[in-house]
Structure 1
Amino acid sequence: MVDALIETLANLPPQLAVFIISMVPIAELRVSIPVALGVYKLPIWEAVLFSVLGDILIALLIIRYIGPLSQWLRQKSKFFKKLFDWWFSRAIKRMDNKLDVWGPLALMLFVGVPLPVTGAWTGATASWLFKIPRKIAAVFISAGVLMAAFIVTLISLGVFSFF
């Protein structure tokens, strides 16, 4: 998947390609930072900057538009109804108890730990589902994105080694 995405983005400037990769669900900056550093050989600051900007931008768009867009698409298509039902149920399962205990801080921690399906997409969706005010959600999700960028950058540079 990553190779196909890189090939598609090959004709773009590396910074724009990294920005776009960071906006892709599941990949987000967990993929864009290692690609920026390893494939494009960008300086650390550029890898982090364009990855963080893309991830925060997509989170802000989701926070703002997921409600009206999902309602409209669910009315138009059985496929989208199933897709959004699946996506929303997963977000609720992942965040339900955490938000009860930690409040919006749970969004930061959830987004900030760079594991599969714990990124800005799911955090932004959960913030809408749990009716967290947009500005509060944006602040805590952005902080989580910065935390994840720090962790992923350190791992990409070999500061942490798991194997």
Structure 2
Amino acid sequence: MDFASFFVDLFQWLPPWLVVIVISAIPVIELRGAIPVAIGLYGMDPILAFVLAVIGNMIPVTIIFYFLDPVSKFLSKHSKLFAKFFDWLFNRVERQGNARVEKYKDLALMTFVAIPLPLTGAWTGTAAALVLKYPFKNAFLSILAGVIIAGIIVTFLTVSGIHVLDIIFGRFS
């Protein structure tokens, strides 16, 4: 069973538009996985897939921003495994927050989130904003801009890839 089939089967009781939002809210997968599922499996209009994926990807940002710190402290206090994980996460993000990033933090955060690769999305961008003590409004807008750029890139690559496959397999002629 592949990734897409797993989520389609898992959420078969939900309407496709809601599945796209849910997949977009899942860490690491985010809209990078939701847009291809929406367009490729559900046959959704690319613009609708893009909008739903951006909405889904942004839902966790506010929650993470306001609850990651208290939840991480609580879990770290009660579990050595969580303490190690959050120490690793926060130290990793802090090491990457050098003077150049501080000077261009809004642009740097947007660019980091915009790169459509695993561990560069809204979840990690929000954690970085927390560790580097970005104000919520600036962080939210930078992350939103990055998510929109990543969504445009993924939508374009998905539509282009499907078009190329159609040409190769003769379905487009």
TM-score for both structures, normalised by structure 1 = 0.90
1:92-150: CA deviation from partner (whole Å, max 9, x where unpaired): 34444652342221110000111121100110000000000011100110111011101
One-letter code of the match for 1:20? V
Correspondence for 1:64 = 66
Max Rg structure: 2
Please show how residues 78-97 of structure 1 align to structure 2 within 5 Å.
78-96=80-98
Correspondence for 2:9 = 7
Against the structure 1 CA distance between its residues 98 and 65, is the aligned structure 2 distance closer, same or farther, given a 3 Å change threshold? Answer: farther
Q: RMSD of the TM alignment (CA)? A: 2.0
- Return 5+ residue gaps in structure 1 as ranges: none
Match of 1:17 among 16, 19, 43: 19
Please show how residues 40-79 of structure 1 align to structure 2 within 5 Å.
40-79=42-81
1:30-70: CA deviation from partner (whole Å, max 9, x where unpaired): 00000100011111122111110011111221112111111
Q: Which moved more, 1:76-85 or 1:122-131?
A: 76-85
Identity of aligned residues (%): 38
Correspondence for 1:121 = 123
One-letter code of the match for 2:142? F
TM-score for both structures, normalised by structure 2 = 0.85
Against the structure 1 CA distance between its residues 79 and 138, is the aligned structure 2 distance closer, same or farther, given a 3 Å change threshold? Answer: same
Correspondence for 1:28 = 30
